[in-house]
Amino acid sequence: MMAAAARFFIRGANSKLSISGVAAGAQSSLGASLLKLSASCNSRTKTQRRHVAHFTFQPDPVPTQYGPTQKMNLFQSVTSALDNTLANDPTAVIFGEDVAFGGVFRCTVGLRDKYGKDRVFNTPLCEQGIVGFGIGVAVAGATAIAEIQFADYIFPAFDQIVNEAAKYRYRSGNLFDCGNLTIRAPWGCVGHGSLYHSQSPEAFFAHCPGLKIVIPRGPVQAKGLLLSCIADKNPCIFFEPKILYRAAVEQVPVEAYTIPLSQADILEEGSDVTLVAWGTQIHVMREVANMAQEKLGVSCEVIDLQTILPWDVETVCKSVAKTGRLLISHEAPITGGFAAEISSTVQEECFLNLEAPISRVCGYDTPFPHIFEPFYIPDKWKCFDAIKRMINY
Partner 1 sequence: MAAVRSMSKMYGLCFHAVRQTAGLKASGLLQHRAFRATVVHQQQPFDSSLEKPQFPGASAEFVDHLEFIQPNVISGIPVYRVMDRQGNIINPSEDPQLSKETVLNFYQKMTLLNTMDRILYESQRQGRISFYMTNYGEEGTHVGSAAALDPSDIVFGQYREAGVLMYRGFPLDLFMAQCYANADDLGKGRQMPVHYGSKDLNFVTISSPLATQIPQAAGAAYAVKRENMNRAVICYFGEGAASEGDAHAGFNFSATLECPLIFFCRNNGYAISTPTNEQYRGDGIAARGPGYGMLSIRVDGNDVFAVYNATKEARRRAVAENQPFLIEAMTYRIGHHSTSDDSSAYRSVDEVNYWDKQDHPISRLRHYMTARSWWSEDDERSWRKQSRKTVMEAFEKAERRQKPNPELLFTDVYQEMTPNLNKQRESMWRHIQQYKEHYPMDLYDK
CA 364 distance to own-chain centroid: 19
**In this complex, which beta carbon is closest to partner 1, that of residue 153 or of residue 245?**
153
Strands 144-147 and 93-96: parallel
CB nearer to partner 1: give 147 or 272.
147
Tell me, rounded to whole angstroms, the distance of Cα 201 from its chain centroid: 10
Find the binder of partner 1 among 50, 251, 310, 340 (CB under 8 A).
Answer: 310
Q: How far is the CB of 349 from partner 1 (least distance, A)?
A: 11
Q: What residues act catalytically?
A: 127, 197
Q: Is 138 in the site for partner 1 (CB under 8 A)?
A: yes
How far does Cα 186 stand from its chain's mean position? 7
Residue 59 CA, distance from chain mean position = 16
Q: Which is nearer to partner 1, 230 or 248 (CB)?
A: 230
Which of 64, 70, 163, 271 touches partner 1 (CB under 8 A)?
Answer: 163
Instruction: Count the residues of the shown chain that bind partner 1, applying the rule CB under 8 A.
Output: 48
Nearest to partner 1 of 93, 154 (CB atom): 93
Q: Is 3 a residue that touches partner 1 (CB under 8 A)?
A: no
Looking at residues 230 to 269 of the shown chain, list those that interact with partner 1 (rule: CB under 8 A): 233-234, 262
Residue 159 as a binder of partner 1 (CB under 8 A): the answer is: yes
- Nearer to partner 1 by Cβ, of 255 and 314: the residue is 314
Minimum CB separation of residue 117 from partner 1 in Å reads 11
Is the CB of 321 or the CB of 391 nearer to partner 1? 321
Name the one range near partner 1 by CB under 8 A: 35-43, 173-181, 295-303, 360-368.
173-181
- State the pairing for strand pair 359-363/249-253: unpaired
- Give the separation between CA 258 and CA 27, rounded to whole angstroms: 31
| Residue 91 touches partner 1, criterion: CB under 8 A | yes
Inter-residue contact 201 to 154 (CB < 8 Å): yes
Q: What is the per-residue binding string for partner 1 in 183-222, x denoting contact by CB under 8 A?
A: --------------------------xx-x----------
Which of 51, 112, 169, 197 touches partner 1 by CB under 8 A? 169
Q: How many CB atoms lie within 10 A of CB 125?
A: 18
In the complex, least distance from residue 344 CB atom to partner 1, rounded to whole angstroms: 13
Residues 100-119 that bind partner 1 (CB under 8 A): 118
Residue partners of 291: CB distance under 8 A and separation at least 6:
380, 384
End-to-end C-alpha distance for the chain, whole angstroms: 57
Give Cα 298 distance to the centre of its chain.
29
**Nearer Cβ to partner 1, position 46 or 233?**
233
Q: Is 96 in the site for partner 1 (CB under 8 A)?
A: no
Contact status: 2 vs partner 1 (CB under 8 A)? no
Indicate whether 348 belongs to the interface with partner 1 (CB under 8 A): no
Rule CB under 8 A: is residue 137 a binding residue for partner 1? Answer: yes
144 binds partner 1 (CB under 8 A): yes
Q: What residues line the site for partner 1 (CB under 8 A)?
A: 91, 93, 118, 121, 123-124, 126, 128-129, 131-142, 144, 156, 159-160, 163-164, 167-177, 179, 209-210, 212, 233-234, 262, 310, 313-314
